Amino acid sequence: MIFLGIDCGTQSLRVVAWDAERGALDSASTNYGLIENLPPGHKEQHPSTWIKALDECLRVLRQQNVDLKAVRGMGVSGQQHGLVVLDSNHEVIRPAKLWCDTSTESQCRHILESAGGLEVYMQEIGNGLPPGFTASKISWIKENEPSRYKQIRFMLLPHDYLNFYLTGEMVAEPGDASGTGYFKVRERQWSRSALSWIDPDHDLKECLPRLIQSAEPAGQLRLSLAKQWGMSSEVVVSSGGGDNMMGAIGSGNVSSGTVTVSLGTSGTLYSYSDSPVIDPAGEIAAFCDSTGGWLPLGCTMNVTVATEMIRSGFVSTELQAFNEMIEQTSPGAEGLVLLPYLEGERMPNVAHGTGIVLGLRPKTASPAHLARAAMEGVTMGLYYGLERLTELGISPTEIRLIGGGSKSRVWRQIVADIFGVSVVCPENQEGPAFGAALQARWCCEGGQIKDLVSAHLSLDERTRHQPKPERQAVYGELYQLYKKFSQTLINSEVFDAHRSFIERED
């Protein structure tokens, strides 16, 4: 009895095949990139890229002798907030605008103005409206591509689109839907008011998929795909969810006290809650999870994308040597601080942000110092989110680390020291993909998701790190400097002025 977990990310698609009886895991992944040569802030991908990657991953799994005929269910984890638009023939109209697209800042302002301000908008939705959310992408197409906008008959998130491809059914579930900007997280319903603020002249709700509960299946695998992939005609496709919701399941974050931190291209941190957690400041997203609860979440757009930029562009070394270099450099990088906002940031909301270095002097003008400052800078950005979660009533007892950055020993220790909480990785590092496979079994068999997670998730105690008091003192002081540095720049409007200069030069 095999369950497949499909994780459609920004840089790759991954499929895990989980043999639920033997506990064995096989996996395959295919890398891809974004559409090139777009203007600054625009991030797009064509949905056909995901389909081709899925076919390739299943081909590789067959080569690994995975018995696809034994597949009983599959679940999809998708990058959140992206917008896939289809015409009346179910054909994709244009490439998907992704979560990391920051080109819609003006559309966010217009939507909030139509609502009567942020307070009114948040009262309706439970969330603010950062540029990454889906709502402003609809408005962007309406304003910039009116002929394409007129063709739109269906609007889907990436995971919804993959579910449609697999089943022929257009459905959505609360977890991923809660990141659109037109979903009421308290009531778990689409918001007609928010949709009217996007377009008062059309009933956009008619373009949205039918909502189902997280424990419900999206449908059965289409017969043509079952034949193509050598699977049973009775394979169930679960509701699936956003990558953060599936990452929560895959890291065992299905009860209070645990905080998951994902060190991926972007960074996220989130914790299970039995009730909605609404942030009046709009910095922490009030998401639903994909098990029936809620998942307050903070997101930063620059994590491994920032460390990799420093590693490849300035340090020019292999990953192992990069980590060793950081490990041999003093905590705090002797005062070198990096704000890793690169092409904008979401927490804090700095759409026109760029990377800025403070404390560069002869003593810190070395690749090692810059490398450490990058890793510490992105971690402090995530700690800003944990600090906000704590203010909203979340009390972390343990940090579960997932994502590519979690494989770094020095990074795990930095997280423990800055966060001041014990850090550990799940034994299974498949994260969202494994979470999707677990959810697929839950949708097939019912029962309690917490029991299923408890029975099949183990922690890798070799990766556990405890905070070191002497380093906590250094980071406590440095974090206050980091936060002041960031807020001073944001309030000074220097980022907006700098972006104007960049756009003229480009």
Active-site positions?
243
Residue 447 zone, left/alpha/beta (φ > 0; ψ -120 to 50; rest): left
Q: How far apart are the first and last CA of the chain?
A: 54
The single-letter DSSP state of residue 35 is P
Q: Which residue has the tokens 């299905």?
A: 254
Distinct helix (H) and strand (E) counts, the chain = 18, 24
Q: Which residues pair with 210 in a beta bridge?
A: 171
Rounded to whole angstroms, the Cα distance separating 407 from 291 reads 27
| Own/partner long-range contacts of 191-195 (Cβ < 8 Å, ≥24 apart) | 191/124, 191/125, 193/115, 193/124, 194/111, 194/115, 194/121, 194/124, 194/125, 194/135
Distances (CA, A) of 417 to 43, 243, 376, 479: 34, 27, 10, 11
State residue 487 phi and psi, 5-degree precision.
-65, -35
Rg (CA), the chain: 22
Q: Which residues pair with 12 in a beta bridge?
A: 31
Could you tell me whether strands 71-78 and 12-19 are parallel, antiparallel, or unpaired per DSSP bridges?
unpaired
Distances (CA, A) of 175 to 71, 261, 266, 429: 25, 17, 19, 22
Alpha helices in 37-157 (DSSP H): 47-63, 105-115, 118-125, 135-144, 146-151
- Spatial contact of 141 and 72, defined as CB atoms under 8 Å apart: no
Strands (E), 381-457: 398-402, 423-426
From the list 339, 343, 303, the residue with the least C-alpha distance to 502 is: 343
State residue 109 phi and psi, 5-degree precision.
-60, -45
Q: Which residue has the tokens 């922690």?
A: 459
Token pair recorded at residue 464: 């556990």
Q: Which residues pair with 356 in a beta bridge?
A: 339
- Spatial contact of 371 and 311, defined as CB atoms under 8 Å apart: yes
